[in-house]
Chain A
Amino acid sequence: MIEMYILLIFMITAAIIAVAAKDLLSSVVAIGAVGIGLAMAFLVLKAPDLAIMQLVVEILSLIILVRATTRKDLPFNISGRWVFNTLATILFAVVFLVSAYASLKFMPDLGSPLMRVSKVYLSEGLVRTGAMNIVAAINLNYRALDTLGEATMLFAAIIGVLAVARKIGRKG
């Protein structure tokens, strides 16, 4: 799993650059690097469908985000309760990481999942649905209602965007 270490360290570095960059455009480019690293991580973890999907979605969201970067980041100022706010945020993140570390001990190790439901899908999926790709078989056959809900939410989001971005109050 040496590839996963390399990819994760690359993604963490790119994320830190995206958070710390002064220019918004370079921040958006850095989050694009995180997304491409995620697509490569999906390939390493044997999920080619997800890698294709992540690549397409990453390019689209990058285009959408570039539209919004018209200015530089806000100037750094330490007025107000700067020290308290930063310390509280870092304390929150540290508490989150410590509690996650404590609860990860009760999970199965990496590489040996439980797969209580997936065993049935893997053993019967080809015979019952006739699809060679088990991911497509689950997505379009076993959990088709889930996919219907996904499409519904996608169109609801598009309607929301149209309602928000509409120009109102213009006459003539």
Chain B
Amino acid sequence: MIIYMLCLVLFSIGLYCVLRKRNIIKIIIGIGIMEYAVNLFFILIGYVEGGRSPIYEHGQTMMKMVDPLAQVIVLTSIVLGLSVTLLLVSIAIKIYEKYGTFDITKINRLKG
């Protein structure tokens, strides 16, 4: 229970960073922190006490395994997180080229 709450505290730090910061790169970093927290939460839900990793071996004696489905879903989520970060950073660089600033309160004039 305390581990779950620590994981959600990590999520809320990312939430604070996204909602309150004015620099676009800081906002991307906050999105990354939230993503890490959600991935960790999925794996924590699938953890079995005293289990082993879901890989069979010849002559094994310990048969209890952790949840493989949560690991598959998080595997997909990690790769998609990388592509989302790539897209966000390229949009941020484009905004910096166009407006000369990373401040989201200054990006308010039409220019095209």
Interface of A with B (CB < 8 Å)? 1, 4-5, 8-9, 11-12, 15-16, 18-19, 24, 27-28, 31, 34-35, 38, 41-42, 45-50, 53-54, 57, 60-61, 64-65, 67-71, 73-74, 85-86, 89-90, 92-93, 96-97, 100-101, 104, 107, 109-113, 115, 117-118, 121-122, 125-126, 132-135, 138-139, 143, 146-147, 150, 153-154, 157-158, 160-161, 164-165
Q: Which chain A residue lies CB-closest to B28?
A: A65
Interface of B is mostly: helix
Q: Please indicate the chain A residues that have their CB under 8 angstroms from the CB of B47 in the complex.
A: 45-46, 110-111, 113
**Is B99 in the interface zone, CB < 8 Å from A?**
no
**Is B61 in the interface zone, CB < 8 Å from A?**
no
Q: Please indicate the chain A residues that have their CB under 8 angstroms from the CB of B53 in the complex.
A: 46-48
Nearest 10 A-B pairs (CB), nearest first?
A: A111-B49, A157-B83, A134-B54, A93-B12, A46-B53, A8-B6, A134-B68, A19-B17, A132-B56, A138-B72
Supply 24 A–B pairs (Cβ within 8 Å), ascending by A.
Answer: A8-B7, A9-B6, A11-B36, A12-B6, A12-B9, A15-B10, A15-B33, A18-B17, A31-B32, A31-B33, A35-B32, A38-B40, A41-B40, A47-B53, A68-B89, A89-B16, A89-B20, A112-B48, A113-B45, A118-B67, A121-B69, A125-B68, A135-B68, A153-B80
Q: Report the separation of the CA atoms of residues A83 and B51 in the bound assembly, to the nearest whole angstrom.
A: 48
Q: Are B67 and A11 in contact (CB under 8 A)?
A: no
Interface of B with A (CB < 8 Å)? 1-10, 12-17, 19-23, 25-26, 28-30, 32-33, 36, 39-40, 43-57, 65-69, 71-72, 74-76, 78-87, 89-94, 96, 102-103
9 A-B pairs besides A121-B69, A139-B75, A160-B87 with CB distance below 8 A are: A1-B3, A8-B7, A42-B43, A47-B53, A73-B23, A110-B3, A112-B48, A126-B56, A138-B68
Q: Are B5 and A46 in contact (CB under 8 A)?
A: no
Q: Report the separation of the CA atoms of residues A115 and B44 in the bound assembly, to the nearest whole angstrom.
A: 13
> Distance (Å) between the CB of B16 and the closest chain A CB?
6
The winner among B7, B15, B21, B53 for most chain A CB atoms within 10 A is: B53
Q: Are B30 and A47 in contact (CB under 8 A)?
A: no
Q: Are A64 and B85 in contact (CB under 8 A)?
A: yes
> Distance (Å) between the CB of B69 and the closest chain A CB?
5
Q: Are A111 and B12 in contact (CB under 8 A)?
A: no
Q: Are B86 and A64 in contact (CB under 8 A)?
A: yes
Q: Are B5 and A53 in contact (CB under 8 A)?
A: no
Q: A27-B29, A109-B1, A135-B68 are in contact. Are A65 and B55 (CB under 8 A)?
A: no
